[in-house]
Chain A
C-alpha cells in the first residue's frame, strides 16, 4: 500500500488493528499508463525533491523513476486548485480519463498479527554548520546531491558538473563526519555509512574522470565489513589523498568560485590550505521525523541517539519491546545496505514464525486486576509502558495479558491493592523486606534491584571478585518500577538505616520507559521522608547496568559509609514517624427512630 500513512494502531500481539490513511492521488493508478502527457501541459513547476532540488518537476508527477505503482500523482498542495477546477489541462489531455479531481483520502483498516517497522532515517541538513559554507557557496554540496549529479538518471543525465557554472570540477574535496560523531550538535553517534559512501564516490570519480584530483578530510576511516578495507586500499591506489583532519574554515574565491579549505593535518602536524573546485559534505543520518509518531502508536522506546531501541541488543536484535513488533533498517540504528537487508529478513522471519505458530507463549509474570477491589480510578493506565491496561471510566481496569510484559509498574501505582503482579505480589515483596530486616536491621543496607541490570550488576561484582561491604541485602524485582512507595516505607519501618532503589540506565530500561516512574516515586518519597523528619539522604537511587559491577561495589561502599552515619535515634524516629496513619473511621450512621 503506497502513498499511505499509519494513523492509529490498537490491539496487541497477534491482534493488531491498524488504521491507514490512503492519500488521495487524484490519478487512478489502474487507468494511468504513465505516458507523461499530463506533466507536459501542467503549468506548475516545483523543485524535484527526489533530485535534491537540482531539477524541477510538475504538480502532476511520478515521485521517482522506480515508483510503484508507476503512475502519476497530482500534488494538490501545488496544483492550482480542484475546487473549483482552476486549470484542468491534465484532465483535458488524458486519453485514459485517469485524472479524478474528486478523489479523497480514504481510511483503511487492516487486522494484522505482527508489524515490521522499517521507516528509515533522514539525512542530516548541514546548513547549521556555517563554517562549511553549505547554502552560502554554490559549490559546497552534500553527498546526496553528489549522488544525484553523478547518476545517469540524475538531473544532468550523469554529466558531472558543479552547480555554479555547469563546468566539470577537476579538484574535489570530501569532508567526513558532517553531522556524525559531533556531540556539540547532539549527534555523537557514527552514521556508519558515510566512510564507505565516500570511498565509493572516489572510486567512481577515478573510474569516470581519471584526471580528477580527490582529497578526503577525515577524522577516522571506518572501513568495517566484507571487502571494505579492500575498497579503501583501491581508493588510495587510485590517487585519492586522505588528510586526517576536518576543515576549520571554507572560503570562496568570488572570481573563480573555487573553494579554499583550511585544515589542520593532524598526521603531518601542519596547517594546510587546499584550493578545490567543489566540496562534498559527507552527511550523516538522523532519526526520521516521524519516529516520535510511530513510537507513540506502537509504544516503542528510543535510545539516547533517538533511534528505536531493540528488545535486547544481542538476543533479540530485531524485536521491539512491544511484543509482535519488529524493527528493520536505519530506524533501529545506522547501518549499511547489507545489514539492513539481513535485519529485514530476520524481522520478517520473526513475524512469520509468530503468525505460523498460531498461538503464543506468554510469561507467567504478568499483572492481574481484581475487579472487585479496583476503584475504577484508572491510575494504572498511563503508567503502563505497553498500553496493556484497558479501562473505561466507571469500569474496572483490565490487563491484556498478551500485551503485558510484567514490569509491575501498575502494581506499584495502585494504592488499593487491586493489582496482583504474579510471582512478585505486594505480599511476597513485603514479606521479603520484613524477613531481611527481622534481625539487626541497623547493620544492614537494604537494596531493591531490578532483575535485568542492577541485580546482574551485583552478580558481575561478585564474579569479578570485587570487594564490597557484606552489609547489603538485595531484594530482586523485575523492574525498579515495581517498587512501590509502601515497600520503601516498610523497609524504614522495619529499621533499615539506608534503602537503595536501583534499576537500569534510562537507555537500557527493559520495559520501554518504566523506570521513569521509579524516579517520580523516589522524588515523592524524598518529600515524604523530609516531612516526617527523616533524613531523605537515607533513600538513594542508582542506575546500575549489568556490566557495571564496579559501580555496584562502589555504591555499596558509599551506602555502608552512609549507614554508619545513621544513629539509633534516627532509626527509631523513622520507625515511629513513618507508621501508617490509622484510617479515619466512616461517620457512624444514625439509626432512624422507628
Chain B
C-alpha cells in the first residue's frame, strides 16, 4: 500500500512531527510528546488554504 510522509502539529503543545500515512488507513492519532488527540494534519490545512 502506498505511504506518504505527512506533517502533523499538536494543537496542545505545538509539537510538529512527520509520520508515514498509508492510503485509506484508519488510525487514531495522538501527539508523541504530550499524548493529546488534537492533531492537525498540516498538509490538509495547506491544501485548504490553497483552495481558498
- For A, the interface residue count at a CB cutoff of 8 angstroms equals 19
Interface string of B26-52 (1 = CB under 8 A from A): 111000000011111100110011001
Q: Cβ of B38 and Cβ of A540 under 8 Å apart? A: yes
Residues of chain B with a CB closer than 8 A to A540's CB: 11-12, 36, 38
Instruction: Judge if A523 is at the interface, Cβ distance under 8 Å.
Output: yes
Chain A residues whose C-beta falls within 8 Å of the C-beta of B11 in the assembled complex: 526, 536-537, 539-541
Q: How many angstroms between the C-alpha atoms of A506 and B28 in the bound complex? A: 6
Query: Are A523's CB and B44's CB within 8 A?
Result: yes
* A505 contacts B28, C-beta separation under 8 Å: yes
- Give the size of the chain B interface in residues (CB under 8 angstroms): 16
Q: From the candidates A524, A526, A537, A542, name the one contacting B37 in the complex (CB within 8 A).
A: A542
A297-340 interface code vs B (CB 8 A; 1 in, 0 out): 00000000000000000000000000000000000000000000
> Does A558 sit at the interface, judged by CB under 8 A?
yes
Contact with B along A525-558 (1 / 0, CB 8 A): 0110011000011011111000000000000001
Which of the listed residues B12, B38, B52 has the most CB atoms from chain A within 10 Å of its own CB?
Answer: B38
Give Cα distance in the complex from A12 to B28, angstroms: 29
Chain A nearest CB from B36 CB (Å) reads: 7
On whether A531 and B37 interact (CB within 8 A), knowing A506-B28, A523-B44, A543-B28, the answer reads no
Most buried by A among B37, B49, B52: B37
CB neighbours of B41 from chain A (8 A): 523
- Residue on B nearest A502 in the bound complex, by CB: B37
| Contact assessment for B38 and A542 in the assembled complex, using a CB-CB cutoff below 8 Å | yes
Task: Return the chain A residue nearest B39 by Cβ.
Answer: A541
Let me know if A139 is at the binding interface, CB within 8 A: no
Task: For residue A541, give the distance in angstroms from its CB to the closest CB of chain B.
Answer: 5
Inter-chain contacts of B38 with A (CB < 8 A): 537, 540-542
Query: In the complex, what residues of B have CB within 8 A of residue A513's CB?
Result: 26
B37, A541: Cβ atoms closer than 8 Å: yes
Contacts of B49 in A (CB 8 A): 527, 530-531
Binding site for B on A (CB under 8 A): 505-507, 513, 516, 523-524, 526-527, 530-531, 536-537, 539-543, 558
